[in-house]
């Protein structure tokens, strides 16, 4: 399955350097995933990109919609490597990839070897045609490339030992669970209250239970399974609150709050520049009833109206006409090696909300920082409250997702 191109020597060198970097950072931990990355010619799956772009640590965008929004891409190598490590593929497995492009399917084909079977499905005819052509050019002719809305899975090649979803999913359709073989594993970039985590699920009786999850980002799913967040404008198109749920938001009052005085509080909780704190955000999303993501343009940030944390969606708690959000961590030493977490708040209840947010940061640091993290369980939408374990309940079209934190004080089921 070696590539045969005029630039193969240069491509092989770049591919080797990319793989070395993924190994050095601990993203690739297994020899078999390392071998797949050294083998598959990534540049053949990124038409229009240069060799250097193909092997950079970046997403290669391959299609945009009429508004310029990316709707198909070759995901960043570290995300693909991370998910393949989560998947734990073995030779001879049958695998379904939901969301195509070709490159990841080729990596999977290397991992399951000749005895396995790989099916990749996408709703976009252009993506399917490109994936089929790229796979053929790279020598992976046995991959099943299917054009379909993946809401129904791909029953003709089921059951699957592994299902790996490479688009952002808001829900888990029954077909995916139904086509998963006994003892199988499903990896889904699942959006929960606006936050996406690549979750490794295994079946436990009548529901799915997480075994692992990682921070990630993907283009959103299209078709029947698509689900848009609600966008509440607070300052024209400069500042918005994104809400992934049904909770109310009084735009007029929140807009007035944003333009009024700001309260800030700091927690005393510190972290280093490379220490992960994405579980802090998931913890806040779990325990706050009215939650959203505050986003802003560079202009609004530069003006001082909002914190730099809004560039990627500041995690926000809302109460009537007031809101508080996690500020960008501030350096606490001259060398900028330690940073303190804090909160900014606006509105009539700004002082209380800022202090409540700081309390949450301190609770996470005390009870959950460095712990195994959250437990994420997925039940059918038909499950009653009495059948669900304690935790934050997120109701979706097909499922009810419950997030809990082992070791924390148990509280009744909480719904957004």
What CATH number does residue 82 fall under? 3.40.50.150
Say yes or no: 59 and 163 in one domain: yes
378 in any annotated domain: no
225 in any annotated domain: no
Say yes or no: 204 and 330 in one domain: no
The arithmetic mean of pLDDT across residues 2-12, rounded, is: 63
Query: What confidence tens digit (pLDDT) does each residue in 199-246 have?
Result: 999 999 999 999 999 999 888 999 999 999 999 999 988 999 999 988
Read off the pLDDT band of 2 (50, 70, 90): very low
Residue pair 387/407 in contact by the 8 Å Cβ criterion: no
Read off the pLDDT band of 372 (50, 70, 90): confident
Say yes or no: 210 and 237 in one domain: no
Residue pair 79/99 in contact by the 8 Å Cβ criterion: no
Read off the pLDDT band of 73 (50, 70, 90): low
Say yes or no: 38 and 163 in one domain: yes
Task: Name the CA dihedral angle for 269, 194, 394, 168, rounded to a multiple of 10 degrees.
Answer: -120
Say yes or no: 124 and 203 in one domain: yes
**Can you point out the beta strands (E) in 236-307?**
239-243, 262-271, 291-296
Report the C-alpha gap between 62 and 45 in whole angstroms. Answer: 9
2 in any annotated domain: no
Q: Out of 8, 30, 72, 75, which one is annotated catalytic?
A: 75
316 in any annotated domain: yes
414 in any annotated domain: yes
Q: What is the pTM of this model?
A: 0.90
Percent of the chain with pLDDT over 70: 92
Say yes or no: 99 and 176 in one domain: yes
75 is catalytic: yes
Say yes or no: 205 and 263 in one domain: no
Say yes or no: 50 and 17 in one domain: yes
Q: Of the candidates 84, 102, 1, 114, which has an alpha carbon nearest to the alpha carbon of residue 44? A: 102
Task: Determine phi and psi for 371, rounding to 5 degrees.
Answer: -85, 175
Say yes or no: 277 and 185 in one domain: no
| SS percent in the chain: helix, strand, coil, step 5 | 30, 30, 35
For residue 402, the enclosing domain spans 384-416
Say yes or no: 158 and 249 in one domain: no
Rounded mean pLDDT of the chain? 91
355 in any annotated domain: yes
**pLDDT beyond 50 at 194:** yes
243 in any annotated domain: yes
Read off the pLDDT band of 412 (50, 70, 90): very low
399 in any annotated domain: yes
Total domains in the fold of the chain: 3
Say yes or no: 394 and 354 in one domain: no
Name 16's Cβ contacts closer than 8 Å, sequence gap at least 6: 38
Say yes or no: 319 and 174 in one domain: no
Min mean pLDDT across 274-278, 296-300, 318-322 is at 274-278
Q: What is the pLDDT of residue 8?
A: 80
């Amino acid at each position: 399955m070696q590539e045969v191109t005029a630039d193969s020597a240069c491509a092989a060198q770049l591919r080797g350097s990319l793989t070395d970097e993924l190994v050095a950072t601990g993203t690739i931990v297994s020899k078999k995933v390392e071998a797949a990355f050294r083998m598959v010619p990534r540049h053949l799956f990124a038409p229009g990109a240069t060799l250097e772009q193909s092997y950079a640590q970046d997403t290669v965008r391959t299609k945009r919609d009429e508004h310029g929004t990316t709707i198909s891409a070759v995901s960043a190598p570290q995300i693909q490597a991370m998910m393949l490590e989560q998947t734990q593929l073995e030779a001879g497995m049958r695998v379904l990839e939901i969301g195509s492009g070709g490159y990841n399917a080729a990596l999977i084909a290397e991992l399951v070897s000749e005895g396995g079977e790989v099916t990749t499905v996408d709703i976009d005819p252009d993506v399917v045609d490109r994936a089929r052509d790229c796979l053929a050019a790279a020598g992976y002719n046995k991959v099943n490339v299917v054009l379909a809305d993946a809401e129904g899975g791909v029953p003709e090649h089921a059951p699957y030992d592994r299902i790996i979803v490479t688009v952002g999913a808001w829900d888990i359709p029954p077909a995916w669970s139904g086509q998963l073989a006994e003892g199988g594993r499903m990896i889904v970039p699942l959006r929960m209250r606006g936050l996406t985590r690549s979750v490794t699920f295994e079946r436990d009786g009548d529901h799915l239970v997480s075994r692992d999850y990682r921070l990630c980002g993907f283009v959103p799913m299209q078709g029947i399974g698509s689900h848009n967040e609600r966008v509440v404008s607070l300052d024209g198109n400069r500042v918005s609150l994104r809400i992934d749920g049904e909770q109310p938001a009084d735009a007029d009052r929140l807009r007035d709050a944003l333009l009024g005085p700001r309260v800030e509080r700091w927690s005393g909780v510190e972290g280093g520049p490379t220490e992960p704190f994405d579980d802090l955000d998931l913890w806040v999303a779990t325990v706050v009833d009215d939650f959203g993501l505050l986003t802003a343009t560079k202009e609004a940030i530069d003006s001082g109206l909002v914190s730099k944390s809004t560039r990627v969606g500041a995690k926000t708690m809302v109460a009537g006409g007031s809101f508080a959000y996690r500020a960008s961590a501030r350096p606490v030493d001259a060398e900028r090696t330690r940073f303190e977490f804090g909160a900014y708040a606006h509105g009539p209840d700004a002082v209380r909300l800022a202090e409540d947010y700081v309390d949450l940061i301190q609770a996470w640091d005390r009870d959950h920082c460095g712990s195994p993290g959250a437990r994420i369980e997925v039940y059918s939408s038909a499950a009653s409250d009495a059948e669900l374990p304690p935790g934050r309940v997120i109701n979706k079209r097909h499922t009810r997702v419950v997030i809990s934190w082992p070791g924390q004080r148990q509280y009744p089921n909480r719904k957004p």
